[in-house]
């Protein structure tokens, strides 16, 4: 594998989101439809309150951005520009834990299916050994769906 596509890789090279709305930092691994990203949000994040506690809505976006990073990486490996994708649906997202600015959060995604320009993805966000959110998202992949 060439150094240009070696992992871990900065998510900013793979997804169109930019600070402060980019919530994932690094794509750590990719394997057979699955990917793992890392996030460490700063105390100054728009998602952190005065106590540093992160708004729970951030976890849904972390799952979506993690899939975007995974897909962007696959595009990069194939020598294509990263395709665009939009979150179009969420199902059964459960928030079971808390996270704070400075926490190292790992988001794992698994592609359930991808067809006709759409992808269905399972995802979970973990802080240490604790899963703090999990759910299913649906994305529209513009490049494939045109």
Q: Does 50 bind another protein (CB under 8 A)?
A: yes
Q: Does 142 bind another protein (CB under 8 A)?
A: no
Q: Shortest Cβ distance from residue 66 to another protein (Å)?
A: 14
Q: Shortest Cβ distance from residue 23 to another protein (Å)?
A: 9
Q: Which two tokens stand for residue 134?
A: 């999990």
Q: Does 135 bind another protein (CB under 8 A)?
A: yes
Residues 61 and 91: their CA atoms lie apart, in Å, by: 13
Q: Does 64 bind another protein (CB under 8 A)?
A: yes
Q: Which is nearer to another protein, 7 or 103 (CB)?
A: 103
Residues in contact with 4: Cβ distance below 8 Å, sequence separation at least 6, in sequence order = 76
Q: Shortest Cβ distance from residue 64 to another protein (Å)?
A: 7
Q: Which two tokens stand for residue 50?
A: 């005065």
Site for another protein, residues 78 to 97, rule: CB under 8 A: 86-95
Determine if the peptide bond prior to 8 is cis (ω within 30°). Answer: yes
Q: Which two tokens stand for residue 117?
A: 């320009």
Task: Please answer whether residues 143 and 66 qualify as being in contact, where contact means their C-beta atoms are separated by less than 8 angstroms.
Answer: no
Q: Which stretch binds another protein (CB under 8 A): 11-19, 28-36, 71-79, 116-124?
A: 11-19
A 10 A CB-CB count for 121 gives: 26
Choosing from 8, 10, 19, 113, the residue that interacts with another protein (CB under 8 A) is: 19
Please tell me the number of Cα atoms within 13 Å of 45 on its side-chain side: 24
- Residues lying near another protein in the complex (CB under 8 A): 16-22, 45-51, 53, 55-58, 60-61, 64, 86-95, 98, 135
């Amino acid at each position: 594998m060439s150094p240009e596509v070696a992992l871990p890789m900065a998510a900013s090279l793979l997804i169109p989101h930019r600070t402060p709305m980019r919530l994932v930092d690094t794509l750590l691994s990719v394997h057979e439809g699955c990917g793992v990203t890392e996030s460490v949000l700063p105390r100054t994040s728009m998602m952190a309150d005065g106590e540093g506690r992160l708004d729970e809505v951030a976890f849904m976006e972390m799952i979506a951005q993690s899939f975007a990073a995974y897909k962007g990486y696959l595009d990069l490996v194939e020598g294509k520009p990263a395709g665009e994708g939009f979150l179009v649906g969420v199902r059964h997202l459960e928030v079971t834990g808390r996270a704070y600015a400075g926490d190292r959060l790992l988001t794992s995604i698994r592609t359930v299916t991808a067809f006709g320009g759409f992808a269905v993805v399972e995802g979970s966000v973990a802080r240490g050994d604790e899963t703090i959110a999990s759910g299913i998202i649906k994305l529209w992949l513009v490049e494939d769906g045109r």
